[in-house]
Structure 1
Amino acid sequence: MAMGPLPSQRGRGRRAPMAEINVTPLVDVMLVLLIIFMITAPLLVTGVPVNLPDSRAGALDQDKQPLQISLDNEGRIFIDETEVQEAELATILAAKAPAEGAEGPPVFLRADRTLDYGHVMRVMGELNRAGLNKVSLVTTGAEQAQ
């Protein structure tokens, strides 16, 4: 790579413009963007902090966008990242329920490990009554199970 102007063919002292591109600034910017994305990507995974139980089950393959329901350690219910009162849960789930004969969206139920079993079962009962029967219970991965 030549670092200066190239001499012209005629030799009159005129110089031809340099036809090379310096890619060092481009590489620097791309590396900074890569680092930013590597730091922020894990933070975008879940919005509701839930202490999930351990399990040795493998991950599921999913084609459709799932409906995520989270129950935190205080018993609050979240649909995706929006908090919902337990009294409103039945009407919201009925609105998201599939038409008769159609297959509903998969539901990921994330419940805190310290939460009462009866509270989780009330939410699962509302899911069943709304016709959302493809429920997956989310746990931590097998590599963390003891």
Structure 2
Amino acid sequence: MPRRRGHGGLEISAEINVTSLVDVVLTLLVIFMITAPMLQGGVEVSVPRARTESVPSSEGVIVTVDRQGAVFIGDEAVRWEEFERRFPEVVRAKGAKSVYLRADQGVPYGRVVQVLGAMKAADVATVGLIAEEENPGGGR
């Protein structure tokens, strides 16, 4: 029987080569793993250590007081004169039930109490204080 044209010695392979797809996915995974901690962002402060639980970052409004005593709502710096007016507006706009205060450990206690008092006056359900875990490794 004569050989037909087009049916040479090579067989047709219907398999998909996914090696390059896996390379791309793993590269993206590494990029996201490196950038995810940076995306938490916020204002850089050195909060005190205490026995604490982690706070969900998407929940509530976070107010930060940095070492110089500057006040931030989220990432936005706010003058003290504006804070008492703007803070309740931000809480209402986000529909937040809880708010959190992050204060640098070098901030005078009086400044923290002043900001905390203004936050409580905004009629929020709870005001939490953010601190770092005392023993992040879990050991004593």
Q: TM-score range by the shorter chain?
A: 0.7 to 0.9
Change (3 A) 1:48 1:97: closer
Measure how far apart 1:104 and its partner are. 5.1
One-letter code aligned to 1:65: E
- Residue 12 (structure 1) aligns with: 4
Matched, 1:120 2:112: yes
Structure 1 stretches of 5 or more lacking a match?
A: 1-9
Residue of structure 1 in register with 2:65 after alignment: 71
The question of whether the paired residues in 2 share the 8 Å contact of 1:127 and 1:133 is answered with: no
CA-to-partner distance for each residue in 1:99-135, whole Å, 9 max, x for gaps? xxxx952111000000000001110111122212411
Query: In 1, distance between residues paired with 2:50 and 2:107?
Result: 17
In structure 1, how many angstroms separate the alpha carbons of the residues matched to 2:60 and 2:112? 18
- 1:54 corresponds to which residue? 49
Q: Distance in 2 between matches of 1:106 and 1:58?
A: 15
Instruction: Give the TM-score normalised by structure 2.
Output: 0.82
Once residues 22 and 76 of structure 2 are traced to their aligned partners in structure 1, the CA distance between those partners, rounded to angstroms, is: 40
Distance in 1 (CA, whole Å) between partners of 2:123 and 2:96 is 8
Q: Distance in 2 between matches of 1:21 and 1:112?
A: 55
1: CA distance, partners of 2:120 / 2:33 = 39
In the TM superposition, what is the alpha-carbon distance from 1:13 to its structure 2 partner?
4.5
SS of residue paired to 1:143: coil
**Structure-1 separation of matches of 2:13 and 2:128:** 61
Structure 2 gap segments, 5+ residues each: none
Determine if contact 1:77/1:86 at 8 Å carries over to the other structure. Answer: yes
The total of aligned residue pairs comes to 131
TM-score (norm 1): 0.79
Q: Is the 8 A contact 2:73 2:87 kept in 1?
A: no
Question: C-alpha displacement at 1:93, in angstroms?
Answer: 2.0
Matching residue of 1:135 = 127
TM-aligned CA deviation for residue 46 of structure 1: 2.5
* CA pair 13-143 structure 1, distance change in 2 beyond 3 A: farther
Give CA deviations for 1:29-70 in whole Å, capped at 9, x if unaligned.
00100000000000011321010100012335x6x7210100
AA paired with 2:13?
M
Distance in 1 separating the partners of 2:91 and 2:6: 76
Task: Report the identity percentage.
Answer: 35
The verdict on how the C-alpha distance between 1:97 and 1:58 changes in structure 2, with shifts beyond 3 A counting, is closer
